[in-house]
Chain A
Amino acid sequence: MVMIITVAISASLFFSMKNKTEESIKFSEKINELSGKESHTASAASALRRENINIEKISKFFFKENEISVFIKKVEALGPQSGTRITIESLEKGFTEKTVPLLNFRIKAIGTFSEVSRLLVLLENFPGEIGWNTLRVVREDLEAGAVSRGGAPIWRAEAYLTILNFVNE
């Protein structure tokens, strides 16, 4: 009888201790979670302040829908810089397969071979994420009098490009 009572008391003590411990663990976890959240928020805020310059730089790298005209002006400015006559023939928004916004555009540039080459180098190094879809460089018909001021043959470059640093906002 004494044995049974002892076992019963032990079991009840065990379960009551288990319940109390579980409750206290829950409380301490909640406290840890709250204090953890607070410290994470503080560290995230300080990291954002620290990395502000880089974040600004990256966000400036992308241009929005209302900044397309600025982008076009930058591309058109490559004409005088390279000596070519540049025309933007088409411009259309789109999405990649992974629904990343992009901007497709087709340009035509006319100039001497050296000028066209220079334009292509400038486009290649253009500060943006440019993908080249197609590029066609052809010499204009000399018979039709397509010569430059210096008498060099005239070349025409047609490129279909995709801009990936575009944000559809």
Chain B
Amino acid sequence: MNNMNIKNWLKKISFSKGADALKMEITPFRDWKNLVLLFFIWLSVSLVFNIYMSIGVNRDHFFAEPKKVNNVEVLDTEGLKIVADQIDEKAANFEKAKSEKLTTADPSL
């Protein structure tokens, strides 16, 4: 019994009777069908849009501006140390060369 009712209702909402050639007949089922269809389309679109917006906002895709990268000049302490060590090494080598006695044979003799 119930099945029959549902079938009838579905028939009424799904098919136009098609007998009204002048389109003068009031067709509340067809109108309701259109309205319900439109509502569900809008609901689906709105749902998809809201999900998209919510994900976008959570991931900062919409409102957050790209962060500016500040190129900060940092003192190269490692480089300074290397250069200072080289200077020290040069000075030590010079002192060593000054104190060392170098005996080189004259090639002309």
User: Which residue of A is nearest B42, CB measured?
Assistant: A3
Chain B interfacial residues counted at CB < 8 A: 34
Closest beta carbon of chain B to A77's beta carbon, Å: 10
From 50 to 109 in chain B, residues with beta carbon under 8 angstroms from any chain A beta carbon are: 53, 62-65, 67-68, 70, 72, 74-75, 77, 80-81, 83-84, 87-88, 90-91, 93-94, 96-98, 102-109
Answer whether residue A48 sits at the interface, using C-beta atoms and an 8 A cutoff: yes
Which residues on A sit within 8 Å (CB–CB) of B91? 127
Would A113 and B104 be within 8 Å (CB), given that A40-B72, A122-B98, A127-B94 are in contact? yes
Which residues on A sit within 8 Å (CB–CB) of B84? 53-54, 57-58
Would A152 and B80 be within 8 Å (CB), given that A22-B65, A61-B87, A125-B94 are in contact? no
Contact in complex: A114, B103 (CB < 8 Å): yes
Contact in complex: A121, B97 (CB < 8 Å): yes
Task: Give the distance in Å from the alpha carbon of A84 to the alpha carbon of B72 in the complex.
Answer: 52
Chain A interfacial residues counted at CB < 8 A: 40
User: Which residue of B is nearest A55, CB measured?
Assistant: B80
Would A139 and B108 be within 8 Å (CB), given that A18-B62, A61-B87 are in contact? yes
Would A127 and B90 be within 8 Å (CB), given that A113-B108, A139-B108 are in contact? yes
Contact in complex: A17, B63 (CB < 8 Å): yes
Task: Give the distance in Å from the alpha carbon of A53 to the alpha carbon of B88 in the complex.
Answer: 12
Task: List A residues at the B interface (Cβ < 8 Å).
Answer: 3, 14, 17-18, 21-22, 25-26, 29, 33, 36, 40, 44, 47-48, 50-51, 53-55, 57-58, 61, 81, 112-114, 117-118, 121-122, 124-128, 139, 152-153, 155
Known pairs A25-B63, A114-B102; list 14 more (Cβ under 8 Å): A21-B63, A22-B65, A25-B64, A25-B65, A26-B65, A44-B74, A55-B80, A58-B84, A113-B107, A124-B97, A125-B90, A125-B93, A139-B108, A153-B108
